[in-house]
Amino acid sequence: MSYWFLVSLPPLVVALAYGRAPFFAWYGVGLVWLAALAWLAGWSPAASGLALGVLAVSGAVFVVPGIRRSLVTAGIFRAFRKALPSMSQTERDALEAGTVWWEGELFGGKPTWNTLLAYPAPRLTPEEQRFLDVETTELCRLTKDWECTQAQDMPEVVWKYIREKGFLGMIIPREYGGKGFSAYAHSQVITKLSTRSSAPAVTVMVPNSLGPAELLLHYGTPEQKQHYLPRLARGQEIPAFALTSPWAGSDAASIPDAGVICQGTYQGREVLGMRVSFDKRYITLAPVCTVFGLAFRLFDPQHLLGDVEDLGITCALVPRDHPGVDIGRRHFPLNAVWMNGPIRGTDVFMPLDFIIGGPAMAGQGWRMLMECLAAGRSISLPGSNTGMQKMTARAVGAYARVRYQFKTAVGKFEGVEEALTRIGANTWLSDAARVMTAGAIDLGEKPSVVSAIVKFHVTERARQTVNDGMDVIGGKGICLGPQNFLGRAYQQIPVGITVEGANILTRSLILFGQGAIRCHPYVLKEMEAARGGDLVAFDEAFWGHVGYTVSNAARALVMGLTGSHFVAVPDAGGKGVAPETRRYYQQLTRFSAAFAFLADISMGTLGGALKRKEKLSARLGDILSLMYLASAALKRFEDEGRQAADAPLLHWVIWDCMFKAQSAFEGAIANFPNRLFATLLRRVVVFPLGRPYFVPSDRLGHEVASLLINPSATRDRLTSDVYLPTDLEEPAGALEAALTATIEAEPVEAKVRRAVKTGQFKPGLLVGGGVDALYEAALAAGIISRDEFALIVRRGELRDKVIRVDDFPYDFGLRQALAGLADEHRKAA
């Protein structure tokens, strides 16, 4: 019997792996299969009937819902409820905020690629495109980053332009006087501004993502909307939002800032209000804001609003000039120009009408923040950090072609190629993730887990990109001044790593920790059923979970053993996918099933302790994130028409994502606390035939690096919407012209080298003639023409502009500091 049972297992496993019927439906299939095998083995009818009867009766305990609930599920239900940790309202709000999107498909183990590919690629409307091409370009032109740095503020003409042209009201609907732009348009504007300077980018970014306007749109009373939204849209009000306190940074839900419901006087009238004390810091735009959102915990000890004393986190909108508000000083986040500073107040009385949404929304602030953060975090930092990378790719690529050492463009050295490869690939991938996620927001999604994924990975890749860029340009990058096109970005990279959820916390606690509950098809249902005491709902969720886990294990095993060659490939609406990407879809499907099984085993064996296994949780989050990034890369390739010239970028990022995901699998399994399960996972389910991916090849890296140093349509797509000034005194303008001049001069250089090598030309000893004396001698010897020599001269002039660095009087820094102190004293006086 055992022999025939083992023989029957493979088809059952395949059925579980590729079938779509629920797990217990295959129980009946298994009985039929075993009966057929018993008959083929020559068993007597009595023996076969007895064996199958025993199996059927024992199986009925699990298959018949009523029997299963009373004999099996009830005990599991009691144990589950006892083990289930308590959850605060803020934790519940964070888990329930936002929506689940494509990350849920990846978490489920069976991503439906046709669904992803069918999502429309985001497009700008004619009005949005004009705003990007005209107003945003002009704002870039008006902003000189070095001048702003020296003044530690943007000129008044820039502030005036931002207000008058509606940059602060891009997300505000037209009926309130705003632009009513899409999330994608918002992201495009921030991306372009960030290729020029962080000052206008952050100034525009915050009011349109994390400021009061977003909260007012979703939760404000009609009176609040009518009063504030038109004023915000016109730039008449400059908003800020105060959340972070000295004692609550990443753990924002524990803010100690508090208010108490009480009677008080407002504008000469006795009204019901709240007396609030707060100490906030790191608040962007605080020094110049005219109104600010304020998050605090609200209490009602006298029960003036109802029976609840601790109402919870509440959001209010407070005018800058409200009595008791202390505002106006500033921080210098890595010497950034954009305004940032503290907001404080002690026992500040505010009427209840200040609460966003009115008194009915008292205590609802945390949910409001979580839902708005999911949208804003998907746009702001991914946009700004992608823009930073695009500028780096464009400028550093040009510099690597213009700058020569050892008679060779530095971009042609293999060591520099490695850095250029990462710059190009990370920029392309970050842009793909940015665009796909902004598109999801426009589809009505508020994907909280995805927003954390793109925030973490785009900012981390931006750090790698800018660091690589600094390595390539060397001394040019470390001397600050108007000719330095990368140093200020390098200084401010840690800001994006730190804000909106520090990256260490995001990776180790949120990506998988929040994703495991939000994205899993059964866990949240089990938790809700247990908390509600609903045995029927728990029974359905729990056994669905068991079938889901076994199905994913079987699918991962079969796909691993078959190399996933038999996995269905999306038809993309009947047109199919690019042939060179077929295997990527198949392998990602395999990784998705293996991840779903590994996630279930981790949650099942570790339970609540998984929350404390941050390194394991971080690696699981890496796998989920890298699958999302790879999905974005595949979608970008399809949405952009399968550009063959862009294929090296696609192939490099997919191999990089898959190799890193594979390494995260290996790291999670190697450190899995239960060694029996670790062995099962590695040798049987996840990597039965070994690890399929390696680092991207050097040949592929060479192709990617070449795209950065050669003008082409691919390079233009990679660095689209980078602001490129035509002024040759600006470093970006000089680089563009120098790249063209260098390429035009290269045939002349090659001609002279050949002449020297063949003995046609012997330049002799060149003393005091400068770096281009060789070509002067070649002109005198008739090797090159005057037109050819003019190309060399033009190249040399532009090269010298590109490689120059700034110098200042030796006491420049001291003078700046003294001027700043004098200005502060004048203001104090």
Catalytic position from the list 500, 526, 730, 749: 500
Instruction: Determine the Cα–Cα distance for residues 487 and 116; give it in Å rounded to an integer.
Output: 39
Residue partners of 455: CB distance under 8 A and separation at least 6: 377, 378, 381, 382, 500, 501, 506
- Chain centroid to CA 386: 10
Helical (H) or strand (E) element with 556: helix 535-561
DSSP classification of residue 136? I
**CA distances (Å), origin 231, targets 202, 235, 314, 529, 723:** 20, 6, 23, 46, 30
Instruction: Determine the Cα–Cα distance for residues 109 and 599; give it in Å rounded to an integer.
Output: 10
Q: Is 500 a catalytic residue?
A: yes
Residue partners of 121: CB distance under 8 A and separation at least 6: 435, 439, 635, 639
**Helix ranges restricted to H, 640-730:** 647-670, 675-680, 698-709, 713-718
Among 768, 766, 761, 772, residue whose Cα is nearest residue 796: 772
Contact 211, 293 (CB under 8 A): yes
DSSP classification of residue 133? I
Query: Can you spell out the DSSP letters for 274-325?
Result: EEEEEEEEEEETGGG-SEEEEEEEEE-TT-SS-S-SEEEEEEEEEETTSTT-
Task: Compute the radius of gyration of the chain from its Cα atoms.
Answer: 31
Contact 463, 456 (CB under 8 A): no
**Helix ranges restricted to H, 712-785:** 713-718, 731-758, 773-780
Q: Checking phi first, is residue 724 left (phi over 0); if not, alpha (psi -120 to 50) or beta?
A: beta
Read off the amino acid at residue 481. Answer: G
Instruction: Determine the Cα–Cα distance for residues 181 and 648; give it in Å rounded to an integer.
Output: 34
Q: Is the dihedral of CA 388, 390, 395, 396 positive or negative?
A: positive
Instruction: Determine the Cα–Cα distance for residues 169 and 539; give it in Å rounded to an integer.
Output: 50
Give the number of other CB atoms < 10 A from CB of residue 183. 25
- Cβ burial, residue 454 (10 Å; 0-12/13-18/19+): buried
- Cβ burial, residue 428 (10 Å; 0-12/13-18/19+): buried
Give the number of other CB atoms < 10 A from CB of residue 127. 12
Buried b (16+ CB within 10 A) or exposed e, 232-264: bbbbebbbbbbbbbeebbbebbebebbbbbeeb
Read off the amino acid at residue 74. Answer: A
Residue 270, beta-bridge partner list: 265
Per-residue tokens: 412: 């042609």
Instruction: Determine the Cα–Cα distance for residues 789 and 799; give it in Å rounded to an integer.
Output: 15
Length of the chain as a residue count: 829
3-class DSSP state for residue 53?
A: helix
Active site residues: 500
